[in-house]
Amino acid sequence: MKRFEGKVCVVTGGALGIGRCLTREFAKEGAKVAFIDINKRAGEENLSFIQERGGNVIFCHGDIGEEVTLNSFVETVINAYGKIDYLINNACISKNGILTGCSYDDFNYVLRVGVTAPYMLSKLFLPYFSIGGSIINIASTRAFMSQSDTESYSAAKGGILALTHALAVSLKGKVRVNSISPGWIDTGEYYDENYVPEYSDGDIKQHLVERVGNPMDIARVAMFLCHEENDFITGENITVDGGMTKLMIYSGDEGWDYKGE
């Protein structure tokens, strides 16, 4: 029997990238999958891919930054499947930050997609969660460290990290809530099936495990957290970055020298 036979898994941002991998892997393991994405063509392409391999899946096209879309999506899922077992809040975007003039509306839109939508979907789906249900929020190592001009995305990822432990406390005894913080995950193969990665020595060596991550690294952790055998884990964040954020570098260390701006 497949690991998630009879379970219902909902994924936001499931058309491409990590979300595409999540939908395919949960479907492969027997789950009924419902996903939503603003990219209609990519969503329909992923829908066909899963259906052609015998998966039970529905795709909803829409913008989760809009409340009406969230309500409609939940209604569609419950009408189709009657329940939910796993909610994976994966969708997020970036509108850059302060150096390129990210506006009030742009900044708040990123927060609506990256923080408000996960909160609202958790709230709307709550009455329909099965016993042993699980919410997985996809955060990021950018919740802890940043590049310049990334305030909108970094704020959203910091917000969903805090939302994770808050929900875990509020939903104790009902639904477990955890988050995953990916580091550098090369999603190229989940955009282009002919994608061939090319990495420099620096790309490899900046990871303690000496490789760049791929979406399956995240899917495996998500399935681990969802599985009922791991029901002693809640309110936690698991960083999946090949150790990249653990390497302390000073100029002259690890082959790195500061060149100036």
Q: Which residues are catalytic?
A: 153
CA distance 74 to 144: 32
Q: What is residue 74's three-state secondary structure?
A: helix
CB 183 within 8 A of CB 238: no
Q: Which of 181, 166, 183, 138 is nearest to 234 (CA)?
A: 166
**Could you tell me the two tokens for 220?**
């495996």
Q: Distance between CA atoms of 93 and 153, rounded to whole angstroms?
A: 7
Contacting residues for 153 by C-beta, under 8 A, at least 6 apart = 92, 93, 94, 95, 96, 97, 110, 114, 140, 142
Contact 182, 141 (CB under 8 A): yes
Gyration radius of the chain over CA positions: 18
